[in-house]
Chain A
Amino acid sequence: MDETRVVESGSMGRVAYARIAPNEDLVLGVEKLCLSEGFRNAFVRGALGSLVDACLRTPDGRYLHVKGPAVEIVSLAGEVRSALDGSVRAALTGVVADTEGKVYGGPFVAGSNPICMTFEVTLEEWLPDL
């Protein structure tokens, strides 16, 4: 997609729901879901589940590691975009709760957020106008 566009008009297309199994990565799992369903661009319309441990990027570029298991995903928003190099890339941000209910927030780091028991996610396909 052209990421320099300020406004991108479009419409919602198909909707997909998935259960992603334990030890799969949250961010890469959402990308694989898009590949398997044939979505090129999508918005997250609902998501909940748990992580073994959570890893969130800090504003200064470091990693906030929240120890589980399980770390509950209590809020998640994000999108998946297809890139000019032929890849898809999910950008997911949210809030997680540790085993005492204490909360942490930020963008999820791809490759370091293994799912603990289950992750339920609903994606809605985004169809940009050409």
Chain B
Amino acid sequence: MASNVSAEFPRPRMLIHPGNAEPVRIRSRQAAQARHVRLALQPGLTLFEALVRPLAAMGIHNASTTILGGVFSELHFCVAPPDPTGRAVIAYTQPISAGRCTLIFGNATMGKDTRGQPLVHCHAALRTETGEVRGGHVVPQLAVVGSDPIPVLVTSLEGFELRVSFDNETNIPLLQPNTELPHG
């Protein structure tokens, strides 16, 4: 059963990951202040291009963003069932096409991959053309902004950076806050 309603408080489950649990459970960084930007994702661009290029042009390389909703002419997303190979607890599925759809609400984090290149991690709720509401991990390079610009509220993260690094515990690469390295 995928879901159920009960009057009893459900006992949480803790999963065993492939690697040992790190003693530090919350890795955080702070900055004295954030810059806020209202960005309009431009029609025809991918979510990745529409977020990364204009922000990089104003010197923002790390940010937390809220996508306020709009129509994508094409969008693919993944869900995360258990990993059949056992390499990790879960593994993303192949991208599932949502076709032309309305993004109801989404959050996207912008940081850097292991090589220092821009990376966008986005989760969102969507409504398909047939009215079905779905959600998951949006593939930013495969999501194309529809005919109208889509507003995004950007909160910049400065003085530290978000970079993908291999996480021994989960056995997958993950975004982590780190000391800032030179851009490039």
Please give the residue numbers on chain A whose beta carbons come within 8 Å of chain B beta carbons, in ascending order.
Answer: 12-25, 29, 32-33, 36-37, 45-50, 52-53, 55, 58, 61-70, 72-76, 95-104, 109, 111-114, 116-118, 120, 122, 124
- Residues on B with beta carbons closer than 8 Å to the beta carbon of A101: 77, 79, 96, 134-136
- Residues on A with beta carbons closer than 8 Å to the beta carbon of B121: 48, 120
Size class of the B contact interface (CB-based, 8 Å)? 35 or more
**Closest beta carbon of chain B to A63's beta carbon, Å:** 6
CB of B94 within 8 Å of the partner chain: no
The residue in chain A whose Cβ has the minimal distance to the Cβ of B177 is: A17
- Residues on B with beta carbons closer than 8 Å to the beta carbon of A50: 80, 90
Stretch of B4-12, B44-52, B53-61, B143-151 with 4 or more beta carbons under 8 angstroms from chain A: B4-12
> With the chains together, A45 CA to B65 CA distance in Å?
8
- Residues on B with beta carbons closer than 8 Å to the beta carbon of A120: 64, 109, 121, 175
| A75-B107 contact given A17-B28, A29-B26, A32-B26, CB 8 Å threshold | yes
**Closest beta carbon of chain A to B77's beta carbon, Å:** 7
Is the beta-carbon distance between A15 and B157 smaller than 8 angstroms? yes
- Residues on A with beta carbons closer than 8 Å to the beta carbon of B11: 112
- Residues on B with beta carbons closer than 8 Å to the beta carbon of A64: 3-5
> With the chains together, A62 CA to B3 CA distance in Å?
13
CB of B89 within 8 Å of the partner chain: yes
Do most interface residues of chain A lie in helix, strand or loop, or is the interface mixed? strand
Of A20, A99, A112, A113, which contacts B79 at CB under 8 A? A99
CB of B124 within 8 Å of the partner chain: yes
| A24-B25 contact given A46-B155, A114-B14, A118-B174, CB 8 Å threshold | yes
**Closest beta carbon of chain B to A1's beta carbon, Å:** 21
Is the beta-carbon distance between A118 and B80 smaller than 8 angstroms? no
Is the beta-carbon distance between B3 and A66 smaller than 8 angstroms? yes
Max chain A C-beta neighbours (<10 A), residue from B8, B80, B133, B176: B80
The residue in chain A whose Cβ has the minimal distance to the Cβ of B90 is: A70
- Residues on B with beta carbons closer than 8 Å to the beta carbon of A62: 5-7
The residue in chain A whose Cβ has the minimal distance to the Cβ of B15 is: A52
**Closest beta carbon of chain B to A22's beta carbon, Å:** 6
Is the beta-carbon distance between A75 and B105 smaller than 8 angstroms? yes
Is the beta-carbon distance between B123 and A73 smaller than 8 angstroms? yes
7 pairs of A and B residues whose beta carbons are closest in the complex? A46-B64, A97-B135, A122-B64, A18-B28, A74-B135, A15-B34, A48-B123
- Residues on A with beta carbons closer than 8 Å to the beta carbon of B90: 50, 68-70, 116-117
Is the beta-carbon distance between A114 and B13 smaller than 8 angstroms? yes
Max chain A C-beta neighbours (<10 A), residue from B4, B79, B88, B160: B79
